[in-house]
């Protein structure tokens, strides 16, 4: 296909959240190359055994250094269980007027979207774009336009090619807060910070997909998202984005691992069990008797609580169905136990069975030293709402 001409470049179409997410999913290799620069590569928890979320102490310390949120730093600890905990502004950055990055969409049909791997506008999957001001809006069939008049960090808009700009993964997360509920936004955030992509998802239903791509590079981390959101204050639904970001974790390896993490670790008033946060897919060096049980030098627990040496494993039907996989899984479990790691295996049917999953949560609570209390009516309603929203 021929490259875009001057008129196409002048169109300067900027993608909105749903279409930007489709771009990252459909062009995994290009997306990873665009955002995982050598000098600024997102850390992955399976490469370094350290946490990748924002703790209350991190937030309080960061807020104390900023003038925007300084007044709230003193009362942060009292508000942690309620809504917006605030997020850090750790570095100064140049802000730009988004109107300069967008143009009129009347020439949108000239953009070679297929060449860029971006879904073409069609009835079941419209194209979502951003414009900088109301006078730039043009009515185009199957194109949904949103105004973005607020300044954005200069490094949050990337050139995708042929007159198309895409928001960074961090800004994409913020833009999606316009369209998604808190549980849905959390799932997308876990994907952006995770090691998988939902392929062939309809932009109108960003959480539904018929195929998952595994072993993908992480596009961002919770800390990066927090930093980006910390630079903006007047975006639509920015409080929802801040609230969601506070509960994200890095390096989830599959959609069901993300679901498992959220069900176990979100606060009780949001539908979770309020358990301590684990490290996801962090390498553990094999030693001692475990060396005789596995050929790997490192084992990677799914959800690992290092303080109590607990690993919750999600055994999917996709990767644990054939005899070889079952044998490898059994050896892996024995090796982890030889390393003094308690292993709890969870399957899809257990996750979907509320009573069975409640039993699993209580086992995790007992191992992590959390006292489980009898759930209230509101807690049970919150759990049902969360399960309905995030279970595929």
Residue of 79 and 215 predicted with greater confidence: 215
- Assess whether 65 and 172 both reside in one domain: yes
Q: How confident is the model at residue 23 (pLDDT cuts 50, 70, 90)?
A: confident
For residue 63, is it within any domain?
yes
Q: Which pLDDT score is estimated for 187?
A: 96
- Assess whether 118 and 209 both reside in one domain: yes
- Assess whether 128 and 90 both reside in one domain: yes
- Assess whether 120 and 154 both reside in one domain: yes
Is pLDDT at 59 greater than 60 in this prediction?
no
Q: What is the DSSP track for 25-86?
A: HHTHHHHHHHH--GGGPPP-TTTS-S--S--HHHHHHHHHT-SSSHHHHTTHHHHTTSS---
How far apart (Å, rounded) are the C-alpha atoms in residues 178 and 236? 7
Please state whether the predicted TM-score (pTM) of the whole model is above 0.85: no
- Assess whether 91 and 210 both reside in one domain: yes
- Assess whether 14 and 33 both reside in one domain: yes
Q: How confident is the model at residue 128 (pLDDT cuts 50, 70, 90)?
A: confident
H/E element holding 390?
helix 377-390
- Assess whether 231 and 90 both reside in one domain: yes
User: Of 245, 278, 301, which one is at a domain's C-terminal end?
Assistant: 245
How far apart (Å, rounded) are the C-alpha atoms in residues 385 and 315? 25
Question: Tens digit of pLDDT for each residue in 345-369?
Answer: 999 999 999 999 999 999 999 999 9
The DSSP bridge pattern shows strands 284-285 and 279-280 to be: unpaired
* Of the candidates 99, 100, 227, the residue with the CA atom closest to the CA atom of residue 170: 227
Highest average pLDDT, of 91-95, 112-116, 252-256, 319-323, comes from 252-256
Highest average pLDDT, of 69-83, 227-241, 312-326, comes from 227-241
- Assess whether 259 and 370 both reside in one domain: yes
Dihedral, CA atoms, 29, 31, 32, 36, nearest 10 degrees?
A: 150
How far apart (Å, rounded) are the C-alpha atoms in residues 173 and 196? 16
- Assess whether 155 and 15 both reside in one domain: yes
- Assess whether 366 and 265 both reside in one domain: yes
- Assess whether 184 and 312 both reside in one domain: no
- Which of the residue ranges 74-78, 143-147, 311-315, 340-344 would you say has the lowest mean pLDDT? 74-78
Tally of domains within the chain: 2
- Assess whether 237 and 262 both reside in one domain: no
Is the separation of the CB atoms in 158 and 27 below 8 Å? no
Q: What is the DSSP track for 233-280?
A: SSSTTHHHHHHHHTT--S---SHHHHHHHHHHHS-GGGTS--PPPPEE
User: Of 226, 245, 264, which one is at a domain's C-terminal end?
Assistant: 245
| Percentage of the residues of the chain whose pLDDT score is greater than 90 | 42
How far apart (Å, rounded) are the C-alpha atoms in residues 121 and 361? 44
For residue 178, is it within any domain?
yes
Question: Whole-number mean pLDDT of the chain?
Answer: 77
For residue 59, is it within any domain?
yes
Question: Tens digit of pLDDT for each residue in 165-177?
Answer: 889 999 999 999 9
Is the separation of the CB atoms in 22 and 218 below 8 Å? no
For residue 250, is it within any domain?
no
Highest average pLDDT, of 30-44, 63-77, 131-145, 304-318, comes from 304-318
Is pLDDT at 205 greater than 90 in this prediction?
no
Residue 339, domain extent = 255-390
Q: Which pLDDT score is estimated for 293?
A: 82
For residue 1, is it within any domain?
no
User: Of 245, 267, 291, which one is at a domain's C-terminal end?
Assistant: 245
Beta carbons within 8 Å of 138's beta carbon, 6+ residues apart: 104, 105, 106, 145
- Secondary structure string (H, E, C) spanning 331-385: HHHHHHHHCCCEEEEECHHHHHCHHHHHHHHHHHHHHHCCCCCCCCHHHHHHHHH
């Amino acid at each position: 296909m021929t490259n875009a001409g001057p008129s196409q470049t002048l169109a300067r179409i900027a993608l909105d959240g749903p279409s930007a997410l489709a771009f990252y999913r459909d062009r995994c290799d290009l997306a990873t190359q665009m955002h995982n620069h050598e000098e600024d590569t997102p850390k992955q928890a399976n490469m370094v055994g350290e946490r990748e979320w924002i703790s209350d102490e991190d937030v309080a310390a960061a807020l104390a250094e900023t003038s925007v949120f300084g007044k709230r730093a003193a009362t942060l600890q009292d508000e942690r269980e309620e809504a917006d905990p605030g997020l850090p502004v750790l570095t100064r950055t140049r802000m730009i007027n988004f109107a300069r990055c967008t143009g009129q969409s009347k020439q949108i049909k000239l953009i070679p979207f297929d060449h860029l791997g971006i879904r073409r506008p069609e009835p079941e999957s419209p194209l979502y774009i951003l414009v900088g001001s109301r006078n730039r809006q043009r009515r185009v069939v199957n194109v949904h336009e949103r105004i973005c008049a607020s300044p954005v960090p200069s490094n949050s808009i990337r050139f995708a090619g042929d007159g198309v700009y895409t928001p960074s993964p961090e800004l994409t997360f913020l833009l999606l807060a316009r369209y998604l509920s808190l549980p849905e936004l959390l799932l997308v955030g876990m994907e952006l910070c995770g090691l998988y992509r939902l392929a062939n998802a309809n932009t109108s239903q960003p959480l539904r997909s018929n195929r998952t791509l595994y072993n993908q590079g992480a596009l961002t981390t919770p800390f990066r998202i927090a930093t980006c959101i910390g630079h903006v204050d007047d975006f639509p639904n920015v409080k929802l984005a801040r609230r969601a970001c506070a509960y994200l974790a890095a390096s989830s390896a599959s959609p069901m691992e993300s679901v498992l993490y959220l069900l176990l670790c979100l606060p009780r008033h949001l539908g979770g069990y309020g358990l301590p946060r684990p490290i996801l897919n962090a390498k553990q060096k094999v030693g001692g008797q475990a060396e005789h049980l596995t050929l790997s030098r490192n084992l990677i627990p799914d959800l690992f609580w290092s303080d109590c040496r607990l690993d919750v494993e999600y055994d999917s039907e996709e990767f644990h169905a054939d005899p070889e996989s079952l044998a490898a899984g059994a050896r892996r479990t024995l090796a982890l136990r030889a390393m003094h790691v308690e292993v709890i295996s969870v399957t899809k049917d257990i996750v979907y069975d509320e009573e069975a999953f409640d039993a699993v949560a209580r086992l995790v609570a007992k191992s992590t030293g959390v006292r489980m209390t009898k759930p209230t009516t509101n807690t049970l309603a919150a759990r049902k709402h969360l399960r309905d929203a995030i279970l595929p």
